[in-house]
Amino acid sequence: MVLVGPLAVVAMVLVVSGVQKLRLPAASLPAMAVVGLPARGAAVRAIGLGELAVGATALLVTARGAATALAAAYLLLTMVSLRLVRAAGLQSCGCFGRASAPPHAAQVVANAASAVTAGIAAVAGTEALVPMVARSPAGGILLTALVLVGAFGLVAVHRELPAALRAQPSPPSFRLSSTR
């Protein structure tokens, strides 16, 4: 039961990614070409549909297989994001169906952590979010709100953190001066 929230966060992020690829596939085309997949809208939409299906299943179905599929999806995304980081000149990972930050190690780490989270849930077994909310609406509403905040934060790690890390100014230098 403890893993319901973390599993739901990583599942929700995959749902968001899938929906965005279905809506706006063009942003993912350069990344598709880099990893050697067909750079066509239909291929991006197929991947988006797969992400949506795996993420939604993990939110709806209490089964180790759903968490295992989610872990496998994030393991694949970890490998893809690592490949994108190693590619030179790619302006956006296209992860969420729109131009965003260039590929960055933060995305690799976020995907790997999501894979581990889902993998632990698969091994330990946990309830899915939707059945838990149906069984306990009061606690489920609070948990759902926390999951949405967590998913928003994890999406921001993918879309905004890489640019923020690149834009870091150099640390300030402190000088002691005697001005009176």
CB neighbourhood size of 73 (10 A): 25
Q: Which residues constitute the domain of residue 8?
A: 4-166
What is the sign, positive or negative, of the torsion defined by CA atoms of 63, 129, 16, 107? negative
* Residue 108 covered by a domain: yes
**What pLDDT score does 69 carry?**
97
* Segment 52-78, tens digit of pLDDT: 999 999 999 988 999 999 999 999 999
* Residue 175 covered by a domain: no
Positions in the chain short of pLDDT 70: 1, 97-100, 168-180
d(CA 47, CA 31): 13
* Residue 174 covered by a domain: no
- How many domains does one find in the chain? 1
* Residue 34 covered by a domain: yes
